[in-house]
Amino acid sequence: MAKKGNEIKKNLEDIGKKIIEDAKRGKVPNISVPARVTNNIVFDPKYLCYVLGDKTVTRSAGNVRHVKPLAQMLKVASFCKGLVGGTKHETKRGLYYISESWGEKLKFDEQQESDNLIEDIEAIIGLPREDIHIIPNPGGSVYGDLTLKFKNPAGKWMKVNCLQTADGQTIGPRMCEAEIENCNAKMIIAIETAGMYNRLMEENAHEKFNAILVNLGGQATRATRRLIKRINEIKNIPVFIFTDGDPWGLHIAMVVMAGSAKSAHVNRMLATPSATWIGVTASDIKKYKLRSDKLKDVDFTRIKELKKDPRYKNDKRLQEELKTWEEIKKKAEQQALLKYGLRYVVDKYLPAKFKELGVKIK
């Protein structure tokens, strides 16, 4: 971690050194930033996720409108350099308020300004903001035979086994980058809703499937996606995503698998391309005769968008499910499966889905 911290500090220093070198050579100082705009977001078939293309924008001290943002970028990079390697972290919101102490010429007038600069720095150094200790709000939780080692806020090393908590271990900034001390599980089951996550915990799904259960809490936070990816890569175990039976649930799964357009500049560190969506599928709504609601216009619009999305375009199974939704015009929640009993999902539904996907249990 020390080596990584030193490398990150150097990357942040290089932003300032570029400005100094330009000034020494008599050039107008400027910084090129990867363009985080829609027409520069491309799907990378190698990494199977959205990434930024080759377009850049230049912040130049020769443009009066760029002078303040350029100076603010250097100040933010310097601030983050002071955090890296230590135990302190800050949120984007906190950074916005901290800038009040930088004086009238450097403070941010609106949080969107500081948020944009943080994302610019992420794009420049090619690392997520968590690595420079600008953290997201905690979200999601993990339950299973997984022991993580990390430094607590006081800087002391500690270990947490994710089975030794009542409701699973909250996934925060220290958890998502923790060392994986021990993991005996054979798979990860990521679950969209807290209700179904709790159901699987209480029915001991972690034991039946020798699995780590992850509560996505709806659209998964970056910290949650980062932890899933790291466990998948380090322990080489598969990831299965269990969502509501609607196009939005499928999209939640696809963000875990291939990243989001907004995070295109760091998707390679967040996305888990090998993950598999279990369902609830449109076909399941018919097969299990689930209680359902009618799809709304916004749902049909979403289906049309997903059918054209390169992340879905070449996946025959996903295309068939999108087509089925259009045909049945219905959607269902995960909990609709509970009409067959509290243990049904663990005893019948998930085993059937794993068999369908050719996955051996335990």
- Residues serving a catalytic function are 97
Which residue shows structure tokens 């890296």?
Answer: 84
In Å, how far are 61, 78, 125, 281 from 23, measured between CA atoms? 10, 19, 22, 59
CA–CA distance, 139 with 225 (Å, rounded to integer): 10
* Rounded Cα–Cα distance for residues 321 and 246 (Å): 10
In angstroms, rounded to a whole number, what is the distance separating the alpha carbons of residues 196 and 217?
Answer: 10
CB 211 within 8 A of CB 189: yes
- Side chain identity at residue 100, one-letter code: E
142 is written with which tokens?
């993990």
Whether the CB-CB separation of 292 and 331 falls below 8 Å is answered with yes
- What SS3 state is found at 250? helix
β-sheet bridge partners, residue 279: 242
d(CA 343, CA 49): 36
Q: What is the DSSP string of 1-54?
A: -HHHHHHHHHHHHHHHHHHHHHHHTTPPPEEEEE--SGGGEEEETTTTEEEE-S
Residues contacting 222, CB < 8 A, separation 6+: 128, 130, 136, 176, 263, 270
Please report, in angstroms and rounded to a whole number, the separation of the first and last CA atoms in the chain: 34
